[in-house]
Structure 1
Amino acid sequence: MGRTRKGRDISGWLVVDKPAGPTSTAVVNKVRWALEAKKAGHAGTLDPEATGVLAIALGEATKTVPYITDALKAYEFTVRLGVSTNTDDAEGEVLKTSDLRPDDEAIKEALAGFIGDIEQVPPQFSAVKIDGERAYKRARDGEEMEIAARPLFVESLLLIDRPDADHVTLEMVCGKGGYVRSIARDLGAVLGCYGHVRELRRIWSGPFDAGDGLTIAQIEEMARTPELDTHLLPLEQGLVDLPEVKATAEGAVKLRNGNPGMVIAHDVEYGDECWASFDGVAVAVGRFKSGELHPNRVFNT
């Protein structure tokens, strides 16, 4: 018989401004402890040394995580020119160096080649699986692997600062699955000078902004008090990129039971994915077909 997980049945989103150091999983565990929540997860991993927005889903909001994972995200990061490392960031061992330092115009010209639908090879030290094992585990053992390129959509990639000849600060807006470390590595290769990420911050992810996030210190200070609950955002925040339809009273009952239910829809076409609400509360996500929503996710709210 399975063990029952203890905790509160609490649903919603808590936005954290993650500091450098802890893993994303450690932050989730901290939030779950602070809110005494039964269930929690995050929408998009940040490397331990990265900072910025980490959106934590609680309870029923975990069902909306894929929609935040798929949403556009923005990163601000500093690339150290002239040095490549085995991790593609400042934590790794130096592999190669170069005295070449491209000027701003050369960098801007190179950045244009990273915009749009591109192919990107994840870093050797990454969580991608190679024959069922995480790449970083093999890399720690000194194994060098061939990792297949993956598609990535980059909406924009801009040079926003040049602190000195050795460093360039960039801002990137991209889709799901982007590795900023790979961008730094590949930019250095295109420029012929090598490069790695020195600092990385996710400034927003879908509807969530780092500026609205709580620090770990704030979470610890408010832990297990009603004050922390006031910072929760509704689970519907995870659905803002989907069109909303209104369920009828009878339709809401059917949808909550996992069956197609009648909805009132405007500007939604047959087969569109959307979410249904009743009295302002999310009921289900599914496909709109002939006046009904056919659910694939149901919210027990």
Structure 2
Amino acid sequence: MNPMPNREMVESAAVGSFVVPVYKPRGITSTHVVRALKRAGGFARIGHGGTLDPLAEGVLPILVGPATRMTEHLHAGSKTYLAAVLFGATSATCDLGGEIVDSGSSIPAPWRVRDALRLFRGPIIQTPPRYSAVRVGGRRAYSRARAGENVDVPARSVTIHRLRAIEFAYWNSREMASTGRLAGLGGRGRLVAALEVVCGTGTYIRALARDLGRSVGSGAVLVGLLRSRVGPFAAASAVPLAQAESLARAGQLADIGHSPDEVALHIPALLLGADSARGFVHGAFAPVAETAGPRRVYAADGRFLGIGEVEADNLLRPRRVLAPAAEIGQ
């Protein structure tokens, strides 16, 4: 059995390699957030841990330095969303980003929507929207769609761990007009469902809204989306973008950063002796008395080295090395 690493030691070793949960506001892209912080802090390596659509808001984990190698582990974790879905309308983008069209169908009762949610729990087959970042024939689907091409986006398997209706409301014409996009839907009211969605990687909440609308025969569009959690990072504790930019310009963004190993706390930890730690950061295998599977790997002094994989032959194979080789063994 391996003891857990000392958190203070881990954090002190993470300077220049860290994760900051930033609150992305509506109206900008996830790439905009990355570029703004890259410009403000002059970071050579920076990325985000999962795209949020321009019309969505919420937590966007920003990874800096070698921590960018942990992106796949953020993607592998679950994400939690609060979604507002309006029934009785459709859109090419499945949200307010496209032209909103009255479906002409009757508005479903709340119980029908609640009952239909069971169809979308667990592993499901989902087709991403035509206006999405999925690559089709080497190009983004949204680029092809905007060019007027008929885009056939392939369906794929995704997992929805939890899906529930929090509340229902009816929007009248005045409330719809206040969105700036729904004024043309006419005088009849529309049912809006507030949903909580906990899902795995690759899930499009816009597509979920579209398919839920189809399942009740009315059509539906996503009219609001907040990502409240990505892995261990919550929107409630995310840093506003303006504050993050200010800290980056002052060279202080790392001061509020999280150690990159926090991205993978669901993976068991493994501490290595000095010789094995030096070998790990140079790509060498190490014999370990461990069952097969991934490991968060640490030096004996608590420094986070990266992610390894214990093979069936009890050898630890380096997968993602984050620690500079020159620092190990000093």
**CA displacement 1:133-189 (0-9 Å, x = unmatched):** 211111112223222211001101110121324211101000010000000000000
1:299 aligned partner: 322
**TM-score for the superposition, normalised by structure 1:** 0.91
Distance 1:226 1:40, change over 3 A: closer
**TM-score between both structures, scaled by the size of structure 2:** 0.83
Aligned to 1:109: 115
Q: How does 1:204-219 map to 2 (within 5 A)?
A: 204-219=229-244
1:50 to 31, 35, 56: 56
Q: What's the offset of the Cα at 1:193? A: 0.6
Residue 89 of structure 2 corresponds to 83
From the superposition, tell whether residues 249 and 291 of structure 1 become closer, same or farther in structure 2 (CA, over 3 Å).
farther
Distance 2:120 2:153 in 1: 19
Q: Distance in 1 between matches of 2:141 and 2:315?
A: 44
Which residue in the other structure is 2:198 paired with?
A: 173
- Give the letter aligned to residue 296 of structure 1: R
Residue of structure 2 aligned with 1:277, choices 298, 303, 307: 298
Partner SS for 1:37:
coil
1:143 pairs with 2:129: no
| Distance of 2:101 and 2:140 partners within structure 1 | 22
Q: What residue in structure 2 maps to residue 232 of structure 1?
A: 257
Aligned to 2:239, the other structure's residue is in SS state: coil
How far apart are the structure 2 equivalents of 1:146 and 1:284?
Answer: 39
Pick aligned residue for 2:23 from 13, 17, 22? 17
Partner of residue 127 from structure 1, selected from 130, 133, 140: 133
1:166 corresponds to which letter in structure 2?
Answer: L
Tell me how far apart the structure 2 counterparts of residues 189 and 284 of structure 1 sit (CA, whole Å): 45
Cα deviation, residue 19, structure 1: 0.2
Deviates more, 1:122-131 or 1:110-119: 122-131
1:222 to 230, 247, 256: 247
Structure 2 Cα separation of the partners of residues 53 and 100 of structure 1: 36
Partner SS, residue 89 of structure 1 = coil
CA offset digits 1:248-268 (Å, max 9, x no partner) = 1111010011101355x6xx5
Q: Verify the 8 A CA contact 2:18 2:254 in the aligned structure 1.
A: no
Between the aligned partners of 1:163 and 1:39, the Cα distance in structure 2 is 45
- Could you tell which deviates more after superposition, 211-220 or 116-125? 211-220
Query: 1:90 Cα shift?
Result: 0.7
Which amino acid in the other structure matches residue 275 of structure 1? R
Is 1:201 aligned to 2:226, yes or no? yes
Q: Is the 8 A contact 2:16 2:254 kept in 1?
A: no
Name the counterpart of 1:6. none
Contact 1:79 1:167 in 2 (8 A): yes
- The answer as to whether partners of 2:49 and 2:60 remain within 8 angstroms in 1 is yes
Q: Would the alpha carbon gap of residues 216 and 79 (structure 1) be closer, same or farther in structure 2, given more than 3 Å must change?
A: same
Deviation track 1:240-286 (CA, whole Å, cap 9, x = no partner) reads 121111111111010011101355x6xx512x111210122211322
Task: Indicate which of 246, 251, 263 corresponds to 2:271.
Answer: 246
Contact 1:61–1:238 (8 Å) recurs in 2:
no
Does residue 1:288 correspond to 2:310, yes or no?
Answer: yes
Which amino acid is the alignment partner of residue 206 of structure 1?
A: G
Greater RCO between the two (CA within 8 Å, min separation 6)?
2
Greater shift after overlay, 202-211 or 277-286? 277-286
Q: Distance in 1 between matches of 2:280 and 2:252?
A: 33
Q: Is the 8 A contact 1:276 1:293 kept in 2?
A: no
- The offset of 1:22, in angstroms, is 1.3
Aligned-pair CA distance for 1:291: 5.1
Structure 2 gap segments, 5+ residues each: 1-14, 171-189, 325-330
Identity %: 34
> Shift of residue 226 of structure 1?
4.7
Taking the aligned partners of 1:115 and 1:228, their CA distance within structure 2 comes to 39
Query: Residue 37 of structure 2: SS of its match in structure 1?
Result: helix
Shift of 1:99: 4.6
SS in structure 2 opposite 1:142? coil
Name the CA distance, whole Å, in 2 between partners of 1:208 and 1:111: 26
Q: How many residues align?
A: 289
